[in-house]
Amino acid sequence: MTEITAPKSPVSAEQFADEIREQLKYGQGVTVEQATPADVYVAASQAVRRHLMDSWMQTQADMVNGTTKAVGYLSAEFLMGKQLRNALLNAGLTEQFDTAVESLGFNYQDVIDAEHEPGLGNGGLGRLAACFIDSLASLGVPAFGYGIQYKYGIFEQAFDKDGKQIEKPDYWLTNEEPWGHIDYNRSQKVSFGGEVVEEGGKKVWKPAWSVRAVPVDYMVPGYASGRVNTLRLWSAKSYDEFDLLTFNRSEYLDAVRPQVAAENISKILYPEDSTPQGKALRLEQQYFFVAASIHDAIRVFYPGQENPDLTTFPSKICFQLNDTHPVIGIPELMRVLIDEYGYDWDTAWGITTKTFNYTCHTLLPEALEVWPASLIGELLPRHLEIIKQINEQFEAELTSKHVDSDTIKDMAIHTGDSVRMAYLATYGGSHVNGVAELHSQLLKDVTLKNFSDVYPDKFTNVTNGVTPRRFIKLANPRLSDLITEGLGTDKWLSDLELLKGLEPLAADDEFVKKFAAVKQANKVDFSNYAKREYGFDIDPDTMVNTMVKRLHEYKRQALKILALIARYADIKNGNMSADEVMPRTVVFGAKAAPGYYLAKMTIQLINNVARVVNNDPDVKGKLSVYFPWNYNVRLAQHLIPATDLDEQISQAGKEASGTGNMKFALNGALTVGTLDGANVEIRERVGAENFFLFGMTVDEVDALYASGYSPAAFYEADPRLKQAIDMVSDGTFSNGDRNAFAPLVADWLTKDWFMTLADFHAYTEIQADIEALYAQPLEWHRKAILNVANSGYFSSDRSMEDYLERIWETGPLA
Ligand code: 26W
Three-state helix/strand/coil letters over 396-458: HHHHHCCCCHHHHHHCCCECCCEEEHHHHHHHHCCCEEECCHHHHHHHHHHHCHHHHHHCHHH
From ligand 1's centre to the CA of 127, what distance in Å? Answer: 10
Question: By the 8 A CB rule, do 334 and 429 touch?
Answer: no
Query: Residue 387 falls within a domain, yes or no?
Result: yes
Query: Residue 636 falls within a domain, yes or no?
Result: yes
Q: Alpha-carbon torsion 614, 620, 625, 630, what sign?
A: positive
Provide the domain limits for residue 747: 468-794
Pocket test for ligand 1, best of 268, 362, 432 (most atoms within 8 A of CB): 362
Query: Residue 813 falls within a domain, yes or no?
Result: no
Give yes or no: residues 106 and 189 share one domain: no
Q: Kindly state if the Cβ of 655 falls inside 6 Å of ligand 1.
A: yes
Give yes or no: residues 566 and 707 share one domain: yes
C-alpha to C-alpha distance for 478 and 445, rounded to whole angstroms: 44
Q: Which of 21, 458, 549, 591 is catalytic?
A: 549
Q: Bridge partners of 673? A: 648, 693
From ligand 1's centre to the CA of 452, what distance in Å? Answer: 21
Query: Residue 653 falls within a domain, yes or no?
Result: yes
Write the residue with the smallest CA distance to atom 11 of ligand 1.
Answer: 273
Write the residue with the smallest CA distance to atom 12 of ligand 1.
Answer: 125
Provide the pLDDT for residue 246.
84
Q: Which of 116, 212, 634, 663 is catalytic?
A: 663
Q: Which atom of ligand 1 is nearest to the CA of 323?
A: 10
Query: Residue 725 falls within a domain, yes or no?
Result: yes
pLDDT band at 581 (very low <50, low <70, confident <90, very high): confident
% of the chain surpassing 90 pLDDT: 94
From ligand 1's centre to the CA of 423, what distance in Å? Answer: 17
Query: Residue 814 falls within a domain, yes or no?
Result: no
Q: Which of 227, 439, 555, 798 is catalytic?
A: 555
Provide the pLDDT for residue 576.
81
Provide the pLDDT for residue 723.
98
Q: Which atom of ligand 1 is nearest to the CA of 435?
A: 19
C-alpha to C-alpha distance for 90 and 660, rounded to whole angstroms: 23
% of the chain surpassing 70 pLDDT: 100
Mean pLDDT of the chain: 97
For residue range 741-755, list pLDDT tens digits in order.
Answer: 999 999 999 999 999
From ligand 1's centre to the CA of 476, what distance in Å? Answer: 26
Write the residue with the smallest CA distance to atom 4 of ligand 1.
Answer: 273
Q: What single DSSP character describes residue 555?
A: G
Q: Which of 51, 82, 361, 798 is catalytic?
A: 361
At 774, which CATH number? Answer: 3.40.50.2000
Mean pLDDT value across residues 703-716: 98
Neighbouring C-beta atoms of residue 450, cutoff 10 Å: 16
Give yes or no: residues 261 and 249 share one domain: yes
550 is catalytic: yes
Mean pLDDT value across residues 630-644: 98
Give yes or no: residues 320 and 365 share one domain: yes
Give yes or no: residues 110 and 131 share one domain: no
For residue range 680-705, list pLDDT tens digits in order.
Answer: 999 999 999 999 999 999 999 999 99
Write out the DSSP string of 577-644.
-GGGS--EEEEEE----TT-HHHHHHHHHHHHHHHHHHT-GGGTTTEEEE--SS--HHHHHHHGGG-S
Nearest CA-CA partner of 622 in 688, 559, 555, 545: 545
From ligand 1's centre to the CA of 371, what distance in Å? Answer: 18
Give yes or no: residues 76 and 96 share one domain: no
Q: Kindly state if the Cβ of 555 falls inside 6 Å of ligand 1.
A: no
How many helices (H) and strands (E) are present in the chain, helices listed first? 34, 22
- On the question of pLDDT at 277 being above 80, the answer is no
Q: Kindly state if the Cβ of 327 falls inside 6 Å of ligand 1.
A: no
Write out the DSSP string of 100-114.
HHHHTT--HHHHHHT
555 is catalytic: yes
Name the region of 633 (left: φ>0; alpha: ψ -120 to 50; beta: rest). Answer: alpha
Query: Could you tell me the CA-to-CA distances from 265 to 212, 233, 549, 692 in Å, in that order?
Result: 11, 13, 28, 46
Mean pLDDT value across residues 63-90: 98
- Amino acid, res. 809: E
Give yes or no: residues 395 and 513 share one domain: no
Give yes or no: residues 390 and 482 share one domain: no
781 is catalytic: no
Query: Residue 521 falls within a domain, yes or no?
Result: yes
From ligand 1's centre to the CA of 652, what distance in Å? Answer: 16
Provide the pLDDT for residue 129.
98
Q: Kindly state if the Cβ of 121 falls inside 6 Å of ligand 1.
A: no
Provide the pLDDT for residue 244.
81
244-248, 488-492, 782-786 — which is least confidently predicted?
244-248
Query: Residue 482 falls within a domain, yes or no?
Result: yes
For residue range 167-186, list pLDDT tens digits in order.
Answer: 999 999 999 999 999 999 99
Write the residue with the smallest CA distance to atom 6 of ligand 1.
Answer: 274
Query: Which residues lie below 8 Å from residue 471, measured CB to CB, with a gap of 6+?
Result: 637, 640, 663, 666, 667
Mean pLDDT value across residues 589-605: 98
pLDDT band at 257 (very low <50, low <70, confident <90, very high): confident
**How many distinct structural domains can be found in the chain?**
3
C-alpha to C-alpha distance for 130 and 633, rounded to whole angstroms: 11
Nearest CA-CA partner of 728 in 568, 615, 551: 568
Neighbouring C-beta atoms of residue 730, cutoff 10 Å: 15
C-alpha to C-alpha distance for 513 and 467, rounded to whole angstroms: 27
Write the residue with the smallest CA distance to atom 21 of ligand 1.
Answer: 658
Question: Distance between the two ends of the chain, CA-based, in angstroms?
Answer: 32
Alpha-helical (H) ranges within 216-279 are: 244-248, 252-263
From ligand 1's centre to the CA of 362, what distance in Å? Answer: 6
DSSP strand pairing (645-648 vs 543-548): parallel
Write out the DSSP string of 134-145.
HHHHHTT--EEE
What's this model's pTM, rounded to 2 decimal places? 0.98
Give yes or no: residues 539 and 618 share one domain: yes
663 is catalytic: yes
Q: Kindly state if the Cβ of 357 falls inside 6 Å of ligand 1.
A: no
DSSP strand pairing (165-168 vs 156-159): antiparallel
Q: Kindly state if the Cβ of 217 falls inside 6 Å of ligand 1.
A: no
Burial class (CB in 10 A: 0-12, 13-18, 19+), 281: middle
260-274, 525-539, 549-563 — which is least confidently predicted?
260-274
Give yes or no: residues 157 and 60 share one domain: no
C-alpha to C-alpha distance for 340 and 323, rounded to whole angstroms: 27
- On the question of pLDDT at 162 being above 90, the answer is yes
Q: Which of 94, 463, 585, 659 is catalytic?
A: 659
Give yes or no: residues 34 and 147 share one domain: no
From ligand 1's centre to the CA of 791, what distance in Å? Answer: 22
C-alpha to C-alpha distance for 734 and 724, rounded to whole angstroms: 14
- On the question of pLDDT at 275 being above 80, the answer is no
C-alpha to C-alpha distance for 326 and 320, rounded to whole angstroms: 9
Query: Which residues lie below 8 Å from residue 484, measured CB to CB, with a gap of 6+?
Result: 2, 4, 490, 492
Q: What share of the chain is helix, strand, coil (3-state, %, to 5)?
A: 55, 15, 30
- On the question of pLDDT at 391 being above 80, the answer is yes
- On the question of pLDDT at 252 being above 90, the answer is no
Give yes or no: residues 87 and 145 share one domain: no
- On the question of pLDDT at 804 being above 90, the answer is yes
DSSP strand pairing (645-648 vs 670-673): parallel
- On the question of pLDDT at 73 being above 70, the answer is yes
- On the question of pLDDT at 273 being above 90, the answer is no
Q: Mind spelling out the 3-state secondary structure of 515-549?
A: HHHHHHHHHHHHHHHHHHHHCCCCCCCCEEEEEEC
Q: Kindly state if the Cβ of 77 falls inside 6 Å of ligand 1.
A: no
C-alpha to C-alpha distance for 723 and 718, rounded to whole angstroms: 9
Provide the pLDDT for residue 241.
65
